[in-house]
Structure 1
Amino acid sequence: MMDILEIFGEFSYFGIFLVLIGVNAAPILMPPSWIILTSFYLLDPTLNVVILAMVGATGATIGRFVLKRISVVFRRFVAEEQKSNLDVIGNYLNNKKYGYVIASFLFGATPLPSNMLFIAYGLMRAKSLGIYVGFWFGRVISYIVMIYFGNAVLTPFLELFEDRLTAILLIDGAGIGLIVLFASINWTLLITKRKIKFVKPKIWRI
């Protein structure tokens, strides 16, 4: 991984921008973006933290846009009852002026991987510029914090998971579990009566 970072690091911010697009367009098996940005900064401390965070957030947002578009294709494999359930929460957020902005900002402002969020958006056929606006601003804030405290956060994280592939698999596994949980919530009942109930998690039409 360090060899790849050094190669793209030669192109400064533009190289970092390309790496972030590629990483965020992939649905699984990619390290969190904050680790990549922090690694770039540790390789070249002359980089401006704010500019680096903005470049990273822009690349991440474009990459997630691509991922969301790809995820729409997989909607055809989702069971009909699950489609209807996802459409309920999608329509609810569409009718809220700042629904997607707030949801994406709150998620983007954390260091959590956002691949499963945009896969969910794709399955919901979410259509709102607010998705990307909220996510971009949230990511800028989280990236600035993570880059500034890179040494304090990155080293313990890597020590916790000496095998980075194991860490990535665990994170992706947790994300997939959250997607199944999200799709299993009876959103009609939750939105109309504020009651939580789960429906049979039959996601795929197989």
Structure 2
Amino acid sequence: MSWEWLSTLATQWGFFGVFLTSFLGALSIIVPIPYTVIIFTLGMKGWNPLLLAVSGGLGSAFGELSGYALGYYGGKIISEERRRKMEFFVKMFGRYGPVLVFIFALTPLPDDLLFIPLGLLRYKLLNMFIPCLLGKALMCYILAAFGNITKDFLLPLIGEENMMTTTVITAILLTIIFVILLKVDWEKLFEKYVANKVSGG
């Protein structure tokens, strides 16, 4: 499936187009829309990384509310007994739940696997949305800044008009970035900086 129309939308509508593209990308639960590729590409074309982070972060954060809403309103069909059995999920979050939301938003971890249960269990919306916004904005900034840094040697090789080549190279670079992020042992970091504080260590 060609997503070139999304790139056209972002290019013609500017940062509002980036907002819409990111919103649609995060809104889609079943069919993935590669808005991150577009943000990286625009960064590579010299767009301001900070403005891309703001517009892309806002759009994707609002789009992620679809998963929360699906759980929130779809939870009406879940029995009370099953709901009680799932309450441990929210209890596990406790005070540091926003940290996990931030990590899911920043990394390639599947957001909806987290946001749908949070909606189902009526987790506080602001406690979910604010760290999600911060995580998505930081992710967009990293992508845009990395694209901005690499534009000097990538664009001369591929040309601005060769969208297919750009997409392929971008996908490879994103994969490298995401693999690096996935190599981080988030569980150990959580235990080191959070669990130790709770236990007084």
TM-score interval for Structure 1 and Structure 2 normalised by the shorter chain: 0.5 to 0.7
Structure 1 partner of 2:126: 129
- Confirm whether residue 26 of structure 1 aligns to residue 28 of structure 2: yes
User: What's the offset of the Cα at 1:84?
Assistant: 1.4
Q: Deviations over 1:88-147 (max 9, x none)?
A: 322453x52xx2321111222213342322222222221141211111222222222223
In structure 2, do the counterparts of structure 1 residues 157 and 46 end up closer, same or farther at CA, with 3 Å as the change threshold?
A: closer
**1:100 touches 1:134 (CA, 8 Å); kept in 2?**
no
Q: Deviations over 1:135-182 (max 9, x none)?
A: 122222222222333469x7467469xxxxxxxxxxxxxxxxxxxxxx
TM-score by structure 2 length? 0.64
Over the residues paired in the alignment, what is the CA RMSD in angstroms? Answer: 2.9
Q: What is the DSSP-based 3-state SS (H/G/I as helix, E as strand, rest coil) of the residue aligned with 1:138?
A: helix
Map 1:51-130 onto structure 2 (within 5 A).
51-78=51-78, 80-93=80-93, 95-96=94-95, 99-130=96-127
Number of residue pairs the alignment of both structures matches: 155
TM-score by structure 1 length? 0.63
Report percent identity of matched pairs: 21
Counterparts of 2:27 and 2:61, CA distance in 1: 9
**2:69 touches 2:119 (CA, 8 Å); kept in 1?**
yes
Structure 2 partner of 1:11: 13
Q: What is the DSSP-based 3-state SS (H/G/I as helix, E as strand, rest coil) of the residue aligned with 2:98?
A: helix
**2:40 touches 2:170 (CA, 8 Å); kept in 1?**
no
User: What's the offset of the Cα at 1:23?
Assistant: 2.0
Counterparts of 2:61 and 2:47, CA distance in 1: 21
Give the structure with the higher percent helix.
2
Counterparts of 1:111 and 1:63, CA distance in 2: 16
Structure 1, unmatched stretches of 5+, are 161-206
Given candidates 25, 39, 42, the residue that maps to 2:41 is: 39
Counterparts of 1:53 and 1:21, CA distance in 2: 13
The one-letter amino acid paired with 1:117 is L
Q: What is the DSSP-based 3-state SS (H/G/I as helix, E as strand, rest coil) of the residue aligned with 2:15?
A: helix
Q: What is the DSSP-based 3-state SS (H/G/I as helix, E as strand, rest coil) of the residue aligned with 2:108?
A: coil
User: What's the offset of the Cα at 1:74?
Assistant: 2.2
Counterparts of 1:92 and 1:113, CA distance in 2: 18
